[in-house]
Structure formats: C-alpha cells, structure tokens
Amino acid sequence: MRYRVLGGTGIEVSVHCLGTMMFGAVGNPDHDACARIVHAALDAGVNFVDTADMYSAGESEEIVGKALEGRRDDVVLATKVHFPMGAGPNRGGNSRRWIVQEVEASLRRLRTDWIDLYQVHRPDPRTDIEETLGVLGDLVREGKIRAFGCSTFPAEEIVEAQHVAERRGLQRFRTEQPPYSLLARGAETSVLPVARRYGMGVLTWSPLASGFLTGRYRKDRPIDLSSGRAALTPARFDLAIPGNAAKLDAVEEFVRLADDLGCTLPELAVAFPAAHPAVTSVIIGPRTSDQLESLLKGASLVLDDAALDRIDAVVPPGTDLYRADGVWRPQALTDPALRRRPVGERAAG
C-alpha cells in the first residue's frame, strides 16, 4: 500500500481509505464482522479510516472505536459533523454550539482522545463560514482534533472558506471529500483544480457509484427495484429513464476495458480516482470482508495513458452520468423564491 501526504499536514495516509458508512444498522449490523473488516484493512497496509457521526446514527463510530482498541496510534482517524443527530433545533449544522457539543460525542463513541481529521460533512447556509472555521481552529488548539476539512463542498464554497481564513487569520480547511468516479467526473471541472491550487488533500467517495460499477447492474438485464439501493432511489435505477440507460452503456465499455487490462470492473473503478494528481486517497466502503478483499486486490493496478484515454472516450472529463446521493445543492437551486422575482416585477416593461 502506498502513502501520500494529506494536504500539506505532514500526515501520511494510505491511498486506500477504509470508509465505514456500511457499518451498523444501515449496512452490516454485526459488530464483530465489521471489526474484522477494520483489522483486515489495517493488516493490508491501510492506515486511514473514515466515518461520520450520522452513519447509522452513531453506531458506525462506536464500531470503529471498539475495533481500533490497541491500534489507535497507528491509524489516521477521520470523522464528520453536520447532519442532524436527533429531533429538535440545534441538533445539527455547522454552528459553534453544535460542533462543540458533537465533537465530544464523537470522541466518546470513538473511544479516543483526539480525531486526526474532523470534516464538515456539508455546507450550512445558515452559518457564517467564519463561525465554523473559528470553532474548528479552537478544537485544534485544544488538542481534540489535529486538522479539519470539508466534504462535498462546491468549488465556490471552498474558495470562500480559504479567503475568509486568510482575511481573518483563521486556520483553514486542509482537505475536501468529493464524490468522484468513472461515471461522476464533475469534480474535475473545478473542485479538484481548486483543491490543488490551495494545497488541499482530497479524499474521494463513491468510487463504485452506488453499485453501478460493481458489475451487478448490466445492460439488457432487469434491475430489481424492490431491494437494495434501487429500492431506496428507484428513479436512479429505472431503465425506462434515458439517463440510466446511458450509465449502463458506459458500464459495458468499462467492462470491456477491465477485461483487456486483466482486472475486474470494481478494481478499475477504484484505480481511476487514484490516478488524478489532486487525489490523495480513495475511500472504499465494503459491507463484507469479501468485498474488502476484492477491492484491495486492485491496489497495484496502474492505469496507463492508453487506458485513461479510453475512459475519457466513454465519459468525457468533467461529465456526470451519475449523480451521487447526498450531493449538496445550493439554496439558489432548491428555493424557488431565490430565483424568481415577485410576479409583478418579472416583466421587462
């Protein structure tokens, strides 16, 4: 397993990062089985583990905390904050009040005195970015976290945060965690170039595009919309929708490329993000030990220029055929009132 420096922090992390979103009730409820996945990853040279407070409502952090007992000093541990962790106001977001409260909860669940990388899971338009950067810097000085970053921020939000940090003399985001895969290349347009410009480390998520790049879903084969991810978001798997059919057309091309390279489709999918010069580590999120083993087999896969050219021919750079779940959308798009003048003011004359 190779290692890369994380965003100028001096911390070296493995190019594969173990993601634990599937640990707990949402994915694998067997705590012992999840612990075995963690141990197998560490034994294979992975030293980077990523979780979040909201994964299975804190259960993932609890599993990770137990699994790392006796091995904590050898692991770069990352978690995240933002999404609601209970009913009522002020139980989520990026405010000082919530972050100060929730970091303590994460430390308890993770059974550790410090978090190596604390990430803001999504932007929060209700909270001034200066407020968020200020409290995160305080947590660094208190020794509760070593560095902090953002996750799934659009490029303009990253730039604003960097400028605010510089103007106000605050510590800055050192990492970004965007979705990036063979089918979702939108990050190449601005997020990845911006991250390179500011020397940020990049952890990419969803390399398998929620299963589209596992080989499970193939052209001219029916997709069961009643189970798995397809049941949760059927509109993204319904082949009657032209965009979904285009994804499977691309998958067939990638299957042929994988065959020519002598690897599996998942191995190709995980190797692709790691080839980008802005990417530090690729998050792999297995639910079972077999899935982990199959993904780690591709760690040494090198994609030469000819292979990358073939990928570009199927899904051009900067193109999204697949939109990952949970990608933040600005209020300017989600709130009609922000993009529609009052009726009486819309006419030109």
In one-letter notation, the amino acid at residue 12 is E
Residue identified by tokens 């989520």 is 92
d(CA 55, CA 59): 7
From CA 35, how far away is CA 42, in angstroms rounded?
11
Instruction: Please give the sequence-ordered ranges of beta strands (E in DSSP) within the chain, or none if there are none.
Output: 3-5, 12-14, 16-19, 48-50, 76-81, 115-120, 145-151, 175-177, 201-204, 281-284
State the DSSP code for 88: S
Is 198 one of the catalytic residues?
no
Query: How many CA atoms does the CB half-sphere of 118 hold within 13 Å?
Result: 29
Catalytic residue among 3, 55, 198, 322: 55
In angstroms, rounded to a whole number, what is the distance separating the alpha carbons of residues 267 and 258?
Answer: 8
Which of 212, 251, 219 has its CA nearest to residue 233?
212
* Long-range contacts from 142-146, C-beta under 8 angstroms, 24+ separation: 143/113, 143/114, 144/103, 144/107, 144/113, 144/114, 144/115, 145/103, 145/114, 145/115, 145/116, 145/117, 145/118, 146/9, 146/11, 146/114, 146/115, 146/116, 146/117
Helix (H, G, I), strand (E, B) or coil at 284: strand
Active site residues: 55
